[in-house]
Amino acid sequence: MSSFEERAKHLSAVYYNRGLERAGIRDLSGAVTQLLISLKFNKENMDARNLLGLIYFETGETGSALREWMISRNLHPAENPAIDYIRQVQADQARLNAVNRTLVEFNEALRTCKEGHDDVAAITLRKVLTRNPKLLKAYQLLGLIEFREGRYAHASRTLKKALKIDHTNPTTLRYLRAVEEAAGGSSALKRHSSKDEEGDATTKAKAPYPSRFRETPAFVNLVNVLIGLAIGMLAVWFVIAPAVRKNAAREADEKVMEYSNVMATQEDRITQLESQVAEYTDSVQNAQSAQQNSENAVTSYDNLLRAYNDYQNANYLAAGDEIAAVDVSLLSTSAADIYNAIRNAINDEAYSLYVRNGEEAYYAENWPEAITAFEHAAAIDATDYEVLDLLALAYQNNLENDKAIEAYQKIIDTFPGTRRAEYAENSITALGGTPVVNDAAAADTEDTEESADDETYDDGSEDYSDESDEYSEE
């Protein structure tokens, strides 16, 4: 249900309550006005329509009462008091026919009155009121006719009977005031009036008449009804725009929530896929690593076999290169044992050959071959000072000072704190480099190496001095 429907039903209920309140003080015409407005707001207001039927029934308008109750029954076929009202009225068919005849006769009286036969109409109306004493319109029409005939006392009496049915009926009150004004100081009216004073006093005590309602003509009531409807429509209209905006905002919020949920789901899915991709990437890398290890292992086994074969054929240099290319960590335990057994033998043979070849090339001043031979020898045994020293000199003679400095630095690192290291430092300095000396290592080894240095000096001190002289000459 939309907001304006709720608002309209609420207003309908408000006007129904007002109508009920007016009916409670027997302001039947006022109640009818309120109930008609209530039904204009909400035609399905069952209570309002049923009460309107009851008021019509109370004023003798049985036909109108049945019409409202039947509409009510059609709109609300279940649990509707109107069903019982209709059943009760139609149960006494003779009574219903009698009442219906009074309505027909009233219509006939009205027609004859309009045709100018007031006396006939008055007689008919009196008969009608005898059988249907609640028919308010009959009292009013009869009072009007009696007023026209100058029978003010009768008119007053008739109209006051009408007031007992509907205490504040504007038409009745207007007629009664006209009668009183016309009668003026008429003794007859006073006499009749005094007779009715007591009864009127009781009536007035029951419901004081609001003067404003009594004097308002019918068209004013109609204008009031239209104004009420206009105000109601404006009130409902102002409720619509906020309700529509509210609904639109709510729908937009729901859409945003829906899209947010979809995005969150998609993001979760993307995260899952990214995790899967990362797992697959790791698997591929692991597989590639395993494959590479396998290939390296095969290569190592191949080198081991070729080294052994070359060693058997006394091809020690080739065997040395091949054994150096073996990665022992990739070999099995038994293969590693074989590797360890032949490596030393191969290295011993290969080392001697490299040193011999290197010395021959060096003294033949074939520096590249000397460098190659000494490099291989140093790769097998990096603690042979002779090899390192000749390698450095070969680099120097081959004008590869950077590599010469590296070779001298290797001597410093291998023999720290010795005269060999001191000689190497001087050589690096002479080549324009900066020797790196580990003082702590030099101090640790100074004492232990001192005796060895002495032995070395015993063996080769003259050679160092000679070589130093050669560098100084250069």
Query: Which residues make up the interface to another protein (CB under 8 A)?
Result: 4-5, 8-9, 39-44, 60-64, 66-67, 70-71, 74, 96, 99-100, 103-104, 106-107, 110, 113-114, 135, 137, 140-141, 144, 147-148, 171, 174-175, 178, 181-182, 218, 229, 232-233, 236-237, 240
| 180 vs 349 by CB, closer to another protein | 180
- Token digits for 296? 């390296």
DSSP 8-state class, residue 151 = -
How far out from the chain centre does Cα 80 lie? 46
- Tokens (6 digits) for 114: 């309009």
C-beta of 179: minimal distance to another protein in Å?
Answer: 9
Minimum gap (Å) between residue 5 Cβ and another protein? 5
Please, what is the minimum distance in Å from the beta carbon of residue 82 to another protein?
A: 13
- Is 181 or 462 the residue whose CB approaches another protein more closely? 181
Apex CA 253: angle with CA 251 and CA 254, to 5°?
65
- When the beta carbons of 32 and 387 are compared against another protein, the nearer one is 32
Which residues 6+ apart lie within 8 Å of 171 measured at CB? Answer: 29, 140, 218
Tokens 């190592």 -> residue: 300
Q: In whole angstroms, how close is the CB of 8 to another protein at the nearest point?
A: 5
Is the Cα torsion angle 36, 42, 43, 49 positive or negative in sign? negative
Measured from the CB atom, the residue of 93 and 448 that comes closer to another protein is 93
217 in Cβ contact with 178 (< 8 Å): no
Whether residue 429 contacts residue 423, with contact meaning beta carbons closer than 8 Å, is answered with no
Burial of 465 from C-beta contacts in 10 A (0-12 / 13-18 / 19+): exposed
Q: Which is nearer to another protein, 241 or 436 (CB)?
A: 241
Least distance between another protein and beta carbon 53 (Å):
11
* CB 162, min distance to another protein, A: 13
String of b and e for 11-27 (b: at least 16 CB within 10 Å)?
Answer: bbbebbebbbebbeebb
Looking at the Cβ atoms of 207 and 233, the one nearer to another protein is 233
Comparing CB distances to another protein, the nearer of 112 and 427 is: 112
CB 309 within 8 A of CB 342: no
Tell me whether residue 222 or residue 287 sits nearer to another protein (CB atom). 222
Closest CA to 147 of 167, 171, 129: 171
Shortest distance (Å) from residue 107 CB to another protein: 4
For the chain, the C-alpha Rg in angstroms (whole number) is 66
Output the smallest distance, CB 148 to another protein, in A. Answer: 5
- For the chain, helix (H) and strand (E) counts, in that order, are 20, 0
Helix (H, G, I), strand (E, B) or coil at 132: coil
